[in-house]
Each structure stands twice: as C-alpha cells, then as structure tokens.
C-alpha cells in the first residue's frame, strides 16, 4: 500500500459516451455538467474531468467546454497520420480538435471491430508520438475470470500495449482496467477485486519500467461505475479514477462520480 503513493496522482474521471448523443444533446449535456460542477468540484486541486463524445460531436463539445476545466477526448484513432484509410481519424487530426486524450483498445473495439493487441500498441504509440496521451483499456472476459486467468490476460494486454514505448512516452499513459463482464451490466467489480488487478498492473509496470514510473501512472477503473459505488472504488489505493460509460450520459450522475473522486484526495 505504501508504494501506491496516491497523493501524487491527480484523480481522473473520464466519461466515454460511446455511440450516443446528437450534437444538440451533446451540447446540452456539457452545459448541464458545467452547471452541476459549478460548486468548486472542478478547481485546480480537484479531479481532472474529461468527456469522450463521438467524433462528429468533438468540435461542438470543444466549443461548449470553452472556459471550463473539463476537457474532451476521442474514443479511438488510427495509427497512420494521413493516407488512403477511408473512414479513419488520426492523432494529428484529434490534436487539431484540441483533444486532451484518446481512448485506445476499448473492449468494444477489440470485441466488435477486431482491434488486436498489435493494433492497440500501434494506436497507443502513434497517439504518444503525436503528443496525445492515450487511455489504454485492458480487461478480462467472464470466462477468463472464471478460469482464473484474469491477471495473465490483463497483464498480457498491458505489456503488449506498452511494448517499445520509451519512459518519457510511458509517463503520459493512462491505463483503464475494464473487466468486460462489468461493462454495461450494472455489476461492477468489487472494490477489492478491482484493487487486486490495479495493484497487479502497477506491479507489472514497476517490474518492467521502474517503480517511479509505476507510482506516477494513473490507473482508472471502468465497468458499471455509478454514483453509489464510485467513492468506494476510488478509495482503493491503486484506483486513481474512473472511466464511466452509461452514468456519464447524465449530468447529474456523472457529476456525482466526479464529486466522489474529489473526496478521494
């Protein structure tokens, strides 16, 4: 526990809107969120707050967030900067839209769109090379958990994604542990189970890249984070914030999760 040095890591709460919200709805949600958090939860000492809308809403969300400390992120990217890649979006284009982060390797990308460990590694490396910090997602299926393979699988995904990155790049990486069986199910991992995997992730980063880097790396938990479980999850020594899906689509519930992160400090 003493190695986790939670104080040095600023909590991060990110809302992954997935495939939701029209432009009008996105602007409305941002306005409501800013109003909800006007109570000081967003001051410089508080948690960092990020929202990740669909690509088409990034520009509108950026404009709606202007003047607010909340930043915006993209949900995916392609590893090539430009070229004949119909339908893709690259890191330089996301930076052009002032994105603060990009989510990489979400389980829905891996499951439904075939993103392999190798693709995740290339995406993370391309984002970092362009100067865009990735939020790299890892997580096991229910079958893998039941077979006792959680750590093997999660650490395998982690090591595959971080392979070849230099220390300076690694220092900008955020990891999100999202057990697939907890995503969108209403059944979050218990704080103890989530903490155990977070501790294993931090230990693996320490073993591979040194304790200092591991102690500074932010590890988010994702999977049915709600206002009523956020505080206990984020009170765990190695859980530095949350990647929130469903509950981030509502200003009131997302703001409550942000407040839970503020208490953690």
Give the Cα separation of 94 and 194 in Å (integer): 31
Residues 174 and 216 sit within 8 Å (Cβ to Cβ) = no
Q: What angle do CA 117, 119, 122 make, to 5 degrees?
A: 110
Q: Cα–Cα distances in Å, from 166 out to 1, 132, 200?
A: 27, 15, 21
Residues that bind ligand 13P (CB under 6 A): 16, 106, 178, 183-184, 222-225, 243-247
198 tagged catalytic: no
Q: Encoding tokens for residue 126?
A: 């391309």
User: Length of the chain in residues, anyone?
Assistant: 265
Q: Which is nearer to ligand 13P, 53 or 222 (CB)?
A: 222
User: Per the structure block, which two tokens stand in for 60?
Assistant: 């509108």
Two tokens at 208?
């591979």
Q: Which is nearer to ligand 13P, 41 or 225 (CB)?
A: 225
Cα–Cα dist 151/154, whole Å: 5
Burial of 62 (0-12, 13-18, 19+ CB in 10 A): middle
| CA–CA distance, 26 with 164 (Å, rounded to integer) | 37
Query: What is the smallest separation between the CB atom of 157 and ligand 13P, expressed in angstroms?
Result: 15
Q: Quick one: CA torsion of 242, 247, 253, 259, rounded to 10 degrees?
A: 0
**Is residue 78 annotated as a catalytic residue, yes or no?**
no
Of 106, 108, 140, 198, the active-site residue reads: 106
Phi-psi region of 74 (alpha: psi -120 to 50; beta: other; left: phi over 0): beta
The token pair that represents 46 in the structure block: 């508080």
Catalytic residues: 106, 178
């Amino acid at each position: 526990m003493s190695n986790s040095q939670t104080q040095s890591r600023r909590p991060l709460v990110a809302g992954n809107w997935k495939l939701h919200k029209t432009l009008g709805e996105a602007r409305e949600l941002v306005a409501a969120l800013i109003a909800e958090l006007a109570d000081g939860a967003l001051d410089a000492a508080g948690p960092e707050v990020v929202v990740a809308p669909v690509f088409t809403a990034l520009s509108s969300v950026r404009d709606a967030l202007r003047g607010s400390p909340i930043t915006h992120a993209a949900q995916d990217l392609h590893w090539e900067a430009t070229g004949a890649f119909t339908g893709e979006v690259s890191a330089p284009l996301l930076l052009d839209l002032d994105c603060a982060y990009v989510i990489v390797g979400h389980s829905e990308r891996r499951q439904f769109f075939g993103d392999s460990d190798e693709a995740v590694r290339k995406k993370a490396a391309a984002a970092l090379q362009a100067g865009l910090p990735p939020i790299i997602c890892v997580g096991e299926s229910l079958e893998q958990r039941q077979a006792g393979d959680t750590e093997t699988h999660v650490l395998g995904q982690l090591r595959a994604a971080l392979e070849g990155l230099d220390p300076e790049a690694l220092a900008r990486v955020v990891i999100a542990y999202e057990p697939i069986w907890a995503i969108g199910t209403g059944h979050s991992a218990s704080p103890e189970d989530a903490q155990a995997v977070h501790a294993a992730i931090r230990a693996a980063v320490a073993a591979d890249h040194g304790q200092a880097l591991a102690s500074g790396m932010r590890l988010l938990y994702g999977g049915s984070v709600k206002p009523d479980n956020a505080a206990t999850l984020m009170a765990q020594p190695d859980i530095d914030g949350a990647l929130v899906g469903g509950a981030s689509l509502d200003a009131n519930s997302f703001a409550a999760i942000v407040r839970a992160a503020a208490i953690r400090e």
